[in-house]
Amino acid sequence: MALQPDLRNNVPLDSLNFFLADVRDGLGPYLAIYLLAVHHWDPASIGVVMTLAGIAGLVTQGPAGALIDRTRSKRAVVVVAAILVTASCLMLPFVSAFSWVALTQAASAVAASVFAPAISAISLGITGPRAFTRRTGRNETFNHAGNAVAALLAGGLAYLYGPVVVFYLMAFMALASIVAVSCVSAKAIDHEVARGFDPAHSSDHEQPTGVKALLGNRPLLLFAICCALFHLANAAMLPLVSQKLSQINLHMATPLTSACIVAAQLVMVPMAWLVGLKADVWGRKPLLLAGFMILPLRGVLYTVSNDPYWLVAVQMLDGVGAGIFGALFPVIVKDLTQGTGRFNVSLGALSTVFGLGAALSNSLAGFVVQQAGYNAAFLALAAVAAVALALLWLAMPETLAKPSLARHTTALRGPFE
């Protein structure tokens, strides 16, 4: 059975990605500003809380992927997770102790771990593998648009009412995502294709590939290492910038952080769109190398000046790297696991690996700041990014193996058209 893109589900999927954008990524730099400005926490403590939340989320990534592979109630899983995120956000303004803040963030991270595999699975189950690249590019386009709008709202509302308003905004976005996912047609999702089986041979009785076979997949393991190093270098950069902005001008810290996010997200929108249009034609690796190349450059440029407008301008480069990576990540995992029936569990496992890198990033940067200052932290992160780039360039193969498939896919009328 060859799946065709279901145009009726485009708007619900677009809306789901738009509203889940801020919820998937967590509070991040806003939490850092809130704890620094309102409760006067030190950078190391902020980093530890963010690390604990990251660890709580990453240990559930694999089980979350396995759950999405198995369940035929993917929409319901998204709804339950969104409710839990909403509850944790609404609790945060009423707690200030380290243990309670850590608990709310850990609970939110655990719930949010299902969003990425669920969206990828629903998309693959609706479009099939041939149109998946374009649908993923579209997913990321609306994800970044949602992040940009949420950041604009957060900046404006925080300027008027203080940083606490960000928590209520995220709760609203989570509730709106529940409405969006409820509008996705359950009948349009082929759950066997959604877990990575070949559409031409999918059946309810097909058995997934053993885990040992996945562990022996060298390109998949190399990609996991590259992802971990990329996020180890990338995750702490924006929180560090937000802390520098807080020291320069405390009142303007949240609006300026929102400006950083908006600037990056606006660049990510065309980058994700480009990946959706061209990754089946140009290949995955050239685009991914371009994204990885930006990261060490960005880390160095942060040390050039403390001017707030310079920091915002440099943050725009994050839109190139993260925009390309976010759109290509599920596509490359699909390439490397097609036919195994293990797409979502592999997606979750790799998310765990790079989530570990992201979680350690905040603690690493926080302690380097304590010992040597912000510039040293940025340079340390840039060095890690350079290692990731070298490994990707020298060891990672191209995963678009069949040019004929790329030509055929280009001829299809996918969701972008």
For residue 251, count CB atoms less than 10 angstroms from its CB and return exposed for 0-12, middle for 13-18, buried for 19 or more.
Answer: exposed
Q: What is the mean pLDDT of the chain?
A: 82
The string of DSSP letters for 209-241 reads: PPHHHHHT-HHHHHHHHHHHHHHHHHTTHHHHH
**Is the torsion defined by CA of 266, 267, 273, 275 positive or negative?**
negative
- Nearest-Å Rg of the Cα atoms of the chain is 20
Amino acid at 403: P
- Which domains are delineated in the chain? 13-188+216-401 (1.20.1250.20)
Ramachandran angles phi, psi of 138, nearest 5° = -70, -40
CB distance 136 to 121 below 8 Å = no
User: Given pLDDT bands bounded at 50, 70 and 90, which one contains residue 297?
Assistant: very high
DSSP 417: -
Segment 222-278, tens digit of pLDDT = 999 999 999 999 988 888 887 777 776 666 666 777 677 777 878 888 999 999 998
For the segment 20-70, what is each residue's pLDDT rounded down to a tens digit? Answer: 887 776 666 667 777 777 777 777 777 788 778 877 887 888 889 889 988
What tens digit of pLDDT does each residue of 167-185 get? 788 888 888 999 999 999 8
Query: Model-level pTM?
Result: 0.78
Looking at beta carbons, which pairs linking 148-152 to residues 24 or more positions away fall under 8 Å? 148/261, 148/262, 148/265, 148/266, 148/269, 149/18, 150/21, 150/22, 151/22, 151/258, 151/259, 151/261, 151/262, 151/265, 152/258, 152/262
